[in-house]
Structure 1
Amino acid sequence: MMKMNNRSQWKVFTPIAIAVCLMTACSEGDDGKEGPPGTISISIEKADTLQATIDKVTIDAQTQVQVDFFLSNANGIAVTGLESLKELDTLSLGIAKLAPPQDHYKATQTTVGLATGSLSVTGTTDAALQWTSYINNQVEPAINSQANAKTQFQAGIESNCKTTCLISLGEGLYRYTFSKPLTGYPQFAGLDTQYTPELTHRIYLELKPLATSLANTQLINSVYDFVPTTGQTVAADMGRNVIAPEQACFRCHSDNLANTDTRLLMHDGKRFAYEGCVVCHTTYSGDPETGNSLDMATLTHQIHQAKYQVVGYKGQLYDYSNVTFPGDMSQCQQCHIPGAAAQSDNYNIPSKTACLDCHTQQIPANWNGTVAGLFHDREIFANAWSMSCSGCHPDSNNPQGVGLFHNAAVNTASKLASDYQVKLLNSQLSVETQTLEVTLQVLQLDQLPATQAMIKSFWLIATGENHRTDMPVNNGQRKVWDLLATTADVALKITGPNQITVTITNLSTADFGDLSQSQLYSKLVLCADKNTGFTVNCNVANQDVSLSAVNTLTLQGQAVTAKTKVNESACRQCHDQGLEDRVLSAHQMKGIFEPNSSCGTCHAPQTSTALTDRQCQSCHTNDAVMYLNANVMHASGASQIKPYRTINNTLSYREMVHSLHAGTRTVVGFGNPRPELTYPNAKNNCSTCHSAGQLDLAELSTQQSLLVAAPGATNIGQVAEYSPTLATCTACHAQLDSLVVHARSFGGVYQSDASGGRIYQSGQESCATCHAEGRSSGVDKVHQ
């Protein structure tokens, strides 16, 4: 009888699997006769998938550790023969205890002198518990190390014993006995590895049968948390799970271990489980060649800040200085999501490594190298010190600790978005008088915005058809009105509680084309004090909060019903709520689009409201390079296209976004090189940004073709033409020759010399017939 181990293995059998078992393993006698009892199992050589469940861990009086685990395939069928597998690639186990951190600052009593006098404070907050491995080494720097090289401790796991330490208990059950008792591993002065059975312990199991085993189906990283004194697994609140990778890491990174380009698979392709990583990446572990910490928090924080180096596997230097992180590192909650893991809030509890990972800009020249020497500086950290010790160390006065400051900007933005919500109530357009009247609701605002010292800017934006084939001169289908300025064409009045009516005159309605395709947006920028969460006079503010209207209307007042092509939430997963700041920075190179500058007066990019609501496309049209790249103000047309504005450096929104994320974009612009972007997900994984139903390619072929600089162009006006679907594909598929041959067979157009004008006719492409979502060769299939 198969050992069930309370896992209900039969429940995961498929009907086919049951049928196979009944026809094979369960029937070993002659035909028509009952055979001897059979065992349902599969050999390790034939198992295409593997999973392991640690059943029990025992540690005897001599601190000898035994780990019992059940090995099965994905259907729960026992896998046998591991103990005798020839050329076993990897079988490694580690063990660690959850204990006070090693080499961390921990204050139990402090006397501090404040500006107002002296105060004795007894702190009761211990630093958050961390993992300490029982298996450690002391490692010396190799030859040709860096200047900061020094001897380091390194936590590790046992990886050499393999089948020598393994026995089979039958029916997929195995027992691994560590090669030494816990007291038999090297002990080092200054490193507490005393066996403490009443503490939470973790077993890490790593298994890869063969060097050729597939990471996504046959690589195992398993952890098991338990308390040796009871032998029982621990409750979540007794462990240390500070992030949920599904909600943190995999918001930007791919969780697909089959993709060799994007998977988070380390150490020669053997380790991917975050809760296994921390068994070795402990607070006290360091890299001897660089002197850098190997603590999981440190390397994660500093890699995302592009300031980390480590000499890793086989002595190779890993340099992360080119990493580009699209979020705000000061927003802890971007990865430490409240409630996502049992100890998500542990980031509020200070530790030496975590604090120094980011606070390097504030280090004074006379710093003594200690955490206290930096963070007890009352001038540098004045806001925290105003709360005495609780400004950093959580207590009843401030349970958030440092989180009060780390999350201040996010919390303030969320609060003000609710307090000052902006909504477009109605819009009335008169074609006869060329007048537009728009009523907006702004909560807590009953006075004209120009009289309010906490309002930095207030915009009303109107856009026409995004992909018109007869775009008006100077992109006139996009209008921006500054509601704080005094102009002859804009009038504001209070028309009700929290209501403002804006009247626009001298409007050219013809510029907007089909008015049912037009859109109205609004954006309010408030000045705030992030330490209090309230709006303040802009002269003393330390934070700007951008509030976009919660809805959009057409110029005629209808709710906008345009089909969504991409998910805003998907963009925000990587590009957090501080994205506006980086968009503004990108548009202000050389000061060209500074507010109130010659260009910024009309084209102020701070009016952008979202990445996917079509406002960006109102400037970044198929014709964008013919307007925004003019070397003479407001000169337009193909003759003005600059030679570096090729298909992979176009400003057409769709192709721009695709080429940025695909890594095919050239980076020359405004005469200055820009850094390459590092996109951590699979370039061909459309589902990262597009939900089901958004890739039907509807109306794509009816849009205008792109005129951009020809490949290899050296002079202004050397232009090429790409039909719209071809242009979309070319943003990623840089091998143009083969793609063009295929596209031309189905109505696509590519002119390497389009100086004679466009030849593409609307609707000419038939690409969607095969490549629309759900079709035989749909992008959802070929890009899986």
Structure 2
Amino acid sequence: MKTIKMCKIALLIAISMGVIACGSDGKDGVDGADGQAGTPGLPGAPGADAAAPTVSASTMTNVEFINHIVADGMVTVEFGITNESGYAITGLTDASVYLAAKTENGMQRSRDGSVGGNATVGGSSPTTGASLTLLDNGNYQLVAPMAGVQADTEALIRLQVGGGDIAKSPYMLIAKPEMMHTSTTETCYACHVDYAESDLKHAGYVALNTDGEVDFVGGCMVCHNNVPRDIAADGTSLNTGGYAKNTMQMLGHINHQNFEKDFEPANCYTCHAEPVMNTSLAGNGCADCHNTSSSSSYAQVISNSNSSEFDAREFHLNKSGLETLQAMRVSYTAETTAPQKNDAGVWCTTMSLFDVSSGTKTQVNIGALYNKDGDTSGATNVVGKPIVYAGAYLHGYYNESIVGRFAGHGSNEVKTDNADGSRTHCFPSPSSGFDQASIMATARISLSYPGWVQDDGKTSMSFTAYSDAVDQTTGAVVKYERRLAVTSDSCTTCHNSETNYHKNGAYNDGGDDCVACHNNGQDRSAANSAPGFGPMVHSMHWGVGSALSGAKTDADGNKIANSATELSAVNCVSCHADGVDLNAIPNQYIRAKAFNNGDQTKMASPITANCFACHNGDQALNHMELNGGEISAEKGSGNDGTWFTQPTGESCATCHAEGRSFGIEKYHKFER
């Protein structure tokens, strides 16, 4: 909600009264004669300063901060309030102010008032000595006694007004010290998006600054300070120390360590947009993760550092090995050629890996650096042979969609390492049923790195390449294009480790590498939850796939849902920053998981498959099916070459495309 500025209120009132402030030619009207009655509101009229109408109730209360004074034992705040129509509000009886002081230990507000404090006028527990005075129409002075406050106290101050017939205003931060935290609203909202509109804990405490903009971290720190509340040995609160048991850094460090897949808490840049300059292991934040008695080497590093130069983010990135992974990610690129037939009439593709770290493309010799096929005996990479996987596949490509695997690994696949360092893969026994599709290739090359552990083949640095396609009839090269409805950093916001989920593809570029296997023509298992890339992602984060994944279990061995389920699934803007155009989704079937017998001939209509991943109740499915949607339809016997050419009957976009009467943007959030 945007705060209405006081300078705008007069205009709002004038408009609501139907007053016109200019003549017929757009110029100022004639000044009224001195001493004579004029028309209120017209330029020069004596009545122009007549009191504007006021109200004593509101359904929305806008606060305009004027000023504040911090004195010994006292905080005074002046502010103005208007209702939803811009009219000044009189009769306010309820207001509260909270102050967290900046101390040598960071921000702090104790419950007993010994540090910082709070005061309330009105309500069920008013503060003795606190007062609220109406200065003029809509402007008030709040006087709040706080014994633990001194005149030179630098503080974070939060204000809220309203109660009864006057709607409570949002919390507003009216003062905030510089550099009191190094994470930002933007980094938090990359995942939380709009915390105030969620059903998560304390959503109603989200605060605005004086410009009406969300200050998420600052608002939280009014209560979740840098200093925890003191707790007695029997577990009871002593009401000293800080206000809450959990400090802000504990919420950030401890509660954000155990995400589902490929999140590295040591990648401090994910949350800390500003440098973190702690120089004491016992300081705020460090002890949340590090035991001071067992982290002597870390303590030595930061004790020897210069506080103006030592950035804890950079140290953690290097110490965890993430710096090496990030350097590798931008140092290599993979390519593969469009499929072509060799002299024997066999389809082939040739992959290459290039080192681009110096700014020029230098070809890497795949054969010379390859850990030979089938050698999985070593837990770590073979010295001098960092390439642990190099594989290629051919696919059917139709209507800008990958519609199935035309050829892949098999007993008669032929691999040839070429003199220039490239590798050629030929496939003598391709699948049938792709006569109406073009043929394209994908290649994946995976590299180990220092400290790399095979971990059942689930961690390595992978680079995926997509070729253009070849029209089987004309031989013409068809440019490979695929509609990508997510943004480049959609996945890496959370999956920040630069590794890969079961080696198949990187999270970079919105998970584009994953499409080599998770595409419209291959029904990957995805915990038997959904076909294709989009439906799989929806399901594994918020649908049935989350509950079935089994990636995490509790102490009793019960499966724990994916961490993303803790976030609001309607906040689609986390991934779809540019919205979703249902009309742009190709009207063709995608592979579907058969629910009972594993039959691989089942198909789904694309929009239904995506929506059903989350909206998987019987009533929702019935609605989709009544409007032509399908999730498990028989549309062909395997790769018979026709299923991907058949249009579906679903009509979802008719009502649910953006801008329509029941557009998805009305029920899902596509804007920040």
Structure 1 length-normalised TM? 0.63
Q: 1:781 to 1:94 in 2, by over 3 A?
A: closer
Q: 1:544 to 1:665 in 2, by over 3 A?
A: closer
Conservation of the 8 A alpha-carbon contact between 1:772 and 1:778: yes
The answer on 1:731 being equivalent to 2:621 is no
**AA in 1 matched with 2:609:** A
Q: 1:691 to 1:448 in 2, by over 3 A?
A: same
**AA in 1 matched with 2:332:** Q
The answer on 1:19 being equivalent to 2:15 is yes
**AA in 2 matched with 1:158:** A
The answer on 1:436 being equivalent to 2:411 is no
Q: 1:517 to 1:697 in 2, by over 3 A?
A: farther
In structure 2, C-alpha distance between the alignment counterparts of 1:325 and 1:200, rounded to whole Å:
41
Q: Deviations over 1:40-85 (max 9, x none)?
A: 57536236242342523141xx54332223435688x57432xx33
How far does residue 164 in structure 1 lie from its aligned partner after superposition? 4.8
In structure 1, C-alpha distance between the alignment counterparts of 2:601 and 2:480, rounded to whole Å:
35
- Corresponding residue for residue 221 of structure 2: 278
How far does residue 251 in structure 1 lie from its aligned partner after superposition? 0.7
- Corresponding residue for residue 137 of structure 1: 112
Q: Pick one of 179, 201, 206 that aligns with 2:155.
A: 201
Q: Deviations over 1:234-271 (max 9, x none)?
A: 6x4xx4132211x22101003152x3425762669999
Conservation of the 8 A alpha-carbon contact between 2:590 and 2:604: no
Three-state SS of the structure 1 residue aligned to 2:408 is: strand
In structure 1, C-alpha distance between the alignment counterparts of 2:47 and 2:572, rounded to whole Å:
53
The answer on 1:80 being equivalent to 2:89 is yes
The answer on 1:220 being equivalent to 2:171 is yes
Q: 1:414 to 1:615 in 2, by over 3 A?
A: closer
Q: Deviations over 1:697-734 (max 9, x none)?
A: 43543214635216xxxx77799975443333222223
Conservation of the 8 A alpha-carbon contact between 1:41 and 1:79: yes
Q: 1:428 to 1:349 in 2, by over 3 A?
A: farther
Q: Percent identity over the alignment?
A: 17
In structure 1, C-alpha distance between the alignment counterparts of 2:287 and 2:579, rounded to whole Å:
46
Q: 1:94 to 1:571 in 2, by over 3 A?
A: same
How far does residue 676 in structure 1 lie from its aligned partner after superposition? 1.0
Q: Pick one of 682, 691, 710 that aligns with 2:568.
A: 682
Q: Deviations over 1:361-410 (max 9, x none)?
A: xx5xxxxxxx3x3332xxxx3xx47xxx3445531896235741345433
Three-state SS of the structure 2 residue aligned to 1:345 is: coil
- Corresponding residue for residue 392 of structure 2: 461
How far does residue 336 in structure 1 lie from its aligned partner after superposition? 0.2
**AA in 1 matched with 2:145:** S
In structure 2, C-alpha distance between the alignment counterparts of 1:406 and 1:43, rounded to whole Å:
57
How far does residue 277 in structure 1 lie from its aligned partner after superposition? 2.9
**AA in 2 matched with 1:304:** H
Gaps of 5+ in 1: 1-6, 102-129, 139-152, 184-194, 226-233, 307-322, 339-343, 364-370, 530-536, 585-604, 630-643
How far does residue 781 in structure 1 lie from its aligned partner after superposition? 3.5
Pairs within 5 Å for 1:109-124: none
- Corresponding residue for residue 145 of structure 1: none
Pairs within 5 Å for 1:583-732: 583-584=501-502, 605-607=503-505, 610=508, 612=510, 615-620=513-518, 645=528, 649-650=529-530, 652-665=532-545, 667-668=547-548, 674-679=559-564, 680-692=566-578, 694-704=580-590, 706-709=592-595, 723-732=605-614
In structure 1, C-alpha distance between the alignment counterparts of 2:453 and 2:365, rounded to whole Å:
16
**AA in 1 matched with 2:266:** S
Q: Pick one of 474, 485, 494 that aligns with 1:574.
A: 494
Q: 1:223 to 1:346 in 2, by over 3 A?
A: farther
Structure 2 length-normalised TM? 0.72
In structure 1, C-alpha distance between the alignment counterparts of 2:489 and 2:10, rounded to whole Å:
36
Pairs within 5 Å for 1:442-457: 442-443=355-356, 448-452=365-369, 453=384, 455-457=386-388
Conservation of the 8 A alpha-carbon contact between 1:521 and 1:609: no
Conservation of the 8 A alpha-carbon contact between 2:97 and 2:118: yes
Q: Pick one of 415, 440, 454 that aligns with 1:518.
A: 440
- Corresponding residue for residue 333 of structure 2: 422
- Corresponding residue for residue 261 of structure 1: 199
- Corresponding residue for residue 406 of structure 2: 477
- Corresponding residue for residue 3 of structure 1: none
- Corresponding residue for residue 599 of structure 1: none
Q: Deviations over 1:576-606 (max 9, x none)?
A: 24452xx23xxxxxxxxxxxxxxxxxxxx44
Q: Deviations over 1:99-155 (max 9, x none)?
A: 211xxxxxxxxxxxxxxxxxxxxxxxxxxxx1233x5429xxxxxxxxxxxxxx997
Q: Pick one of 456, 461, 464 that aligns with 1:546.
A: 461
Q: Deviations over 1:138-188 (max 9, x none)?
A: 9xxxxxxxxxxxxxx9975334437952112224332221234447xxxxx
Q: Deviations over 1:406-446 (max 9, x none)?
A: 4543332232333x321427546227342323444233666
Pairs within 5 Å for 1:174-573: 174-182=140-148, 195=150, 197=152, 200-210=154-164, 213=167, 218-225=169-176, 236=178, 239-245=179-185, 247-255=186-194, 257=196, 259-262=197-200, 265=203, 273-286=216-229, 288=231, 289=235, 293-305=245-257, 327-338=263-274, 344-346=275-277, 350-359=281-290, 371=292, 373-376=293-296, 381=297, 384=298, 389-391=300-302, 394-395=305-306, 399-400=310-311, 403-408=314-319, 409-418=321-330, 420-424=331-335, 426-427=337-338, 429-430=340-341, 432-443=345-356, 448-452=365-369, 453=384, 455-465=386-396, 476-477=405-406, 479=408, 489-495=414-420, 500-508=421-429, 516=438, 518-528=440-450, 546-548=461-463, 552-556=466-470, 560-573=480-493
In structure 1, C-alpha distance between the alignment counterparts of 2:115 and 2:146, rounded to whole Å:
18
The answer on 1:69 being equivalent to 2:79 is yes
Q: 1:250 to 1:14 in 2, by over 3 A?
A: farther
State the Cα RMSD in Å: 4.9
Q: Pick one of 748, 758, 761 that aligns with 2:629.
A: 748
Q: 1:80 to 1:459 in 2, by over 3 A?
A: same
In structure 2, C-alpha distance between the alignment counterparts of 1:413 and 1:256, rounded to whole Å:
32
Q: 1:707 to 1:493 in 2, by over 3 A?
A: closer
Three-state SS of the structure 2 residue aligned to 1:462 is: strand
**AA in 2 matched with 1:763:** T
Three-state SS of the structure 1 residue aligned to 2:118 is: coil
Aligned length: 590
**AA in 2 matched with 1:178:** A
